[in-house]
Structure 1
Amino acid sequence: MSTFDERENAFENKFAHDAEMAFKAISRRNRAVGTWAAGLLGKTGDDVAAYELEVIKADFEEEGHEDVIRKLVKDLHGKADEATIRAKMAALLVEAQTKLMNEG
């Protein structure tokens, strides 16, 4: 195998790894923001887990995170505004990324 092929394989592996890590971080962020929102909605027990899944599923409606924000803005009307939701999601994404990096 040539050096070029080895470098190409290395770049492809890094791209796949980075994409997987990004997906995991976003999934963890969505679960965490679901937990946070469930608390604001007064949900407890199994209802929290069910709501987390609703938030995770909302993220598959379209590319990006606007679908999750729309869901949360609608569900949290009067409990949290859009700016608060966006800030919470950004903070939870950083937290999820940090945890993933520390795991190995």
Structure 2
Amino acid sequence: MSGFDDREKAHENRYAREQELEFKAGARRNRLLGLWAAEKLGLSGDEADAYAKEVIAADFEEVGDEDVFRKVRADFDAKGVAVSDIELRHEMTRLLDVARTQVQAG
């Protein structure tokens, strides 16, 4: 293998690793978001864990975060939870940063 091929393979491996870490961080963010939202919805224990799993599953409906946002937003609206769209999006961003740190730490 030439030096160019070695560099290309290394780049592909790094990209694959970054994508894997980002996927794990996204899933962890969704779990953290689900637990945060569950608390706002008055859920605890097994109910909170089950809700967090629903939030994680919502992320597989389409590419991006809008499916997760819509799920939590709809649940908040249905239960009359007073959280603005801005606050919800801010929490999603904050928890993604937390999740990335946790994933990188192992």
Give the TM interval when normalised to the shorter protein.
Answer: over 0.9
Q: Deviations over 1:7-31 (max 9, x none)?
A: 0110110010010010001000000
Matches within 5 A, 1:4-43: 4-43=4-43
Matches within 5 A, 1:34-73: 34-73=34-73
State the distance in 1 between where 2:37 and 2:16 align: 31
Q: Deviations over 1:9-57 (max 9, x none)?
A: 1011001001001000100000000000000111111111110110001
Query: More relative contact order in 1 or in 2 (CA 8 Å, sep 6+)?
Result: 2
Match of 1:86 in 2: 89
Q: TM-score, normalised by structure 2?
A: 0.93
Partner AA of 1:81 in structure 2: S
Q: What RMSD in Å do the two structures reach over aligned CA positions?
A: 0.9
The residue matched to 2:102 in structure 1 has which SS?
A: helix
Matched pairs, number: 103
Q: TM-score, normalised by structure 1?
A: 0.94
Unaligned runs of 5+ in 1: none
- Identity in percent: 49
Partner AA of 2:44 in structure 1: T
State the distance in 2 between where 1:44 and 1:97 align: 25
Partner AA of 1:67 in structure 2: D
How far did 1:99 drift? 1.8
